[in-house]
Structures are given as C-alpha cells and as structure tokens.
Amino acid sequence: MTRFSVQRYRAAVLRMYLRIAVLLALPLSALYYLMDETPDRGLVSLLFALFVMWLRWHTRHDSEESLYYVNWFVLATLCLMLYGAFISNEQLRQEIWVMIFPIVFAPVVAARERIVWAIAGAVAIVAVMLLRPEMPTPLTVLVHVIAYLTLSFITMMLVRHNEQNIERLAHLTIIDPLTKAYCRGYLNEVLTGEINRCKRSGQPLTLIMLDIDHFKMINDDHGHLYGDNVLEQVAAALKHAAKRAGDHVFRYGGEEFCILTSGLDRGEAWQFAEKLRLGVSALDIECARSPHRHLTASVGFWCVSNLREITPTALLLNADNALYRAKAAGRNTVVDFDSIPAGEEGVGRAVVVSS
C-alpha cells in the first residue's frame, strides 16, 4: 500500500509542474508574439500552455489518474526543449536546454520509465549538438552525453531516495506497530476507495468486525505482555485467512479487528467470517475464565451488494451492530446484520440503514 503514497507524491509534483508550466508559458508566448520578429515562437509557447491547461483539466479530480497523462507532459516538455535549443543563439549554448530534462521527468514518471526517458534525453543531446553550424568532435559529443547521463543518474538516485523515505513514513502511518495489521486511521481511506471501486465494478463489499472474547481476563490473569502476544497471534491468523487480493485486515482498537473484503455474496461472506472465527479458535490459546476454556472471537458482518448510497460510516455502524448482537448472543458466534429482525438492530447502538 505504500506505493500509493509514492504515486500521490508523484501526482502532486506533476500538478506543481503543470501549474508552473502554465504560469511561464502564457506570459512567454505573449512576449514572443508582441516583441519578437518571429511571432511563431509565441505560437509554440501558446500551444504548449494550452496543452498543459488541457492536462490540468483532465487531472483535476483523481490524483492517481493524473499519472496516466504524465508521459504526455514529459514528451511535450522534451519537444519544447528541443525547439528552444533550435532557436537559441550562440550566447546561450543549445544543449543546456536538454541538460535540465532529468529534473523534469525523474520526479514524476515511474521508476521503470526513467531509464527510457534518460536515453531519450541522451539522444536529444546528440541531435542538438549535431544541429550546430560548426560540427562538434566525437570527443565533445561524448563528454556532453556522459555529463548528461551523470546528471540523470544523480537526479534519479535522489528521487528514489526520497521515494523510499516516503514509503517508510507511509508504512509507519498505516501499519499498527504491534500486530502489523493496518491501523484504524487508514481504514476510512481504504473504505472510501473500495466503495467507489465496487460501485464501478458492481461487486458486493463486506465489512467484518471481530472482537476477542474475554480479552480483559487474559490481561488480568497473565499480564499485558502476554496479551500483546495474543494480539499478535490473532492478527497473524486473520491475515493468513484474509490473503486474497483485495482483503484488508485492520486493528480497529484494543482487541477488536476489522476485515474488509469484496466479491463475496452473502453466503460466501458468512463462510469467510466463520473461517476467521475458527482461525482464532484454532490457535488453542488457553483462557481459563472463558466458558470454552480457550480463546474465542465474536464476529459481526454486513455484506452490501448495492453500494449506490452506502457510506463508510454506514458500513462500520451496521457491522459493529452485528458484532454487538454476536456478543449479546453468548459470544463465539457469527452474526449477519441482514439477519437481525427489523426493529431490533439498535440495541444500544446507532444504526444507518442503506436505502
């Protein structure tokens, strides 16, 4: 999941580049058109600015979707640099326009694409030098290409180092340090994304709430360090059971866990919730004051097929209400929210019912 943090970073840099490009290209096009003897230069800058504005319009909503357009922006920027090199005078060395190209592409394109753009820039450097009235020597061309590739390598290494730091910080932000499950603060973001995704795909979405039975007694009898070990084992069992692509395990708080999964109908969702409950029982952890003499869990879930008007709050409230009914029914059981009789849902809980 930390890769999404890097994607958001790249998308943010792209949006900044687009903003800067518009702010520079529009005044530059006006200056060229009004003050230069060759107004076609202003036309090129204007076309570039209009293209960038079109990209900004297409990337105004979803930050990750903006990365679909990043290569178009990099290509347009390289073409503008080559045009700038073509119209440069002798006082401004032409190849300097392309030398800054790594700073443009490295922070915004994917890691596997950076090598391609670095090679494209090297080819552009050679082409620019061959456009000079005086033919450069092969040694001069080689020196400039090596200098460009060195700058590209350094830039890409710095960008990659920055991305690794972002990944580490994102990992600390979204992972619970004890159980290594996702933390509660990350739940709402994933819920929102999964609801939107399932709306588009038509898949049902299931939210499961699981609570360890009599966990306070375990802490009282054996101490908190032992209780922490129990939490680690339970989280490992849940992650082992919820290992399909798209399954997410969160530590919701204390001894309570939340599992989010998609693509299961109501019957399959019940079987999956039962699998999670049995996985906790299979740990065979002693719990002397439990009626079952070993560790058990209560589970409540809500499987939703029509997500048109469903919110993350509704999912959480109704799954939590199902968990409340499972605990009230004697614990160590699974309750489906849709199986609760009408009028009996809100036993001490607020409930949002989907339309």
192 and 126: one domain? no
Given the structure tokens 């054996």, which residue do they identify?
222
166 and 193: one domain? no
First vs last C-alpha separation in the chain: 32
Give which of 286, 222, 289, 214 is closest to 255, Cα–Cα.
214
pTM for the model stands at 0.65
The reply to whether 288 falls in a domain is yes
326 and 186: one domain? yes
Q: What pLDDT, on a 0 to 100 scale, did the predictor assign at position 351?
A: 46
155 and 229: one domain? no
How many domains are contained in the chain?
Answer: 2
142 and 187: one domain? no
The reply to whether 255 falls in a domain is yes
168 and 289: one domain? no
Query: Which one-letter amino acid corresponds to residue 197?
Result: R
The reply to whether 347 falls in a domain is no
- Which of 122, 142, 174 is where one domain is finished? 174
186 and 170: one domain? no
Range of the domain at 159: 2-174
Q: How far apart are CA 120 and CA 131, in angstroms?
A: 17
167 and 31: one domain? yes
Q: Give phi and psi for 202, each to the nearest 5.
A: 80, 10
The reply to whether 344 falls in a domain is no
Q: What pLDDT, on a 0 to 100 scale, did the predictor assign at position 237?
A: 95
169 and 191: one domain? no
**Tens-of-pLDDT digits for all 355 residues of the chain?**
556 678 888 888 998 999 999 898 888 888 777 776 566 677 888 889 899 999 888 887 655 667 888 999 999 999 888 887 777 655 456 677 788 899 999 999 988 899 999 999 999 988 888 877 777 788 988 998 999 999 999 999 999 999 999 888 888 888 999 999 999 988 988 998 899 889 888 999 999 999 999 898 888 888 999 999 999 999 999 999 998 888 999 999 899 999 999 999 999 999 999 999 999 999 988 887 777 788 999 999 999 998 888 899 999 999 999 999 999 998 999 999 998 887 655 544 444 444 3
The reply to whether 354 falls in a domain is no
Q: How far apart are CA 108 and CA 115, in angstroms?
A: 13
The reply to whether 352 falls in a domain is no
28 and 97: one domain? yes
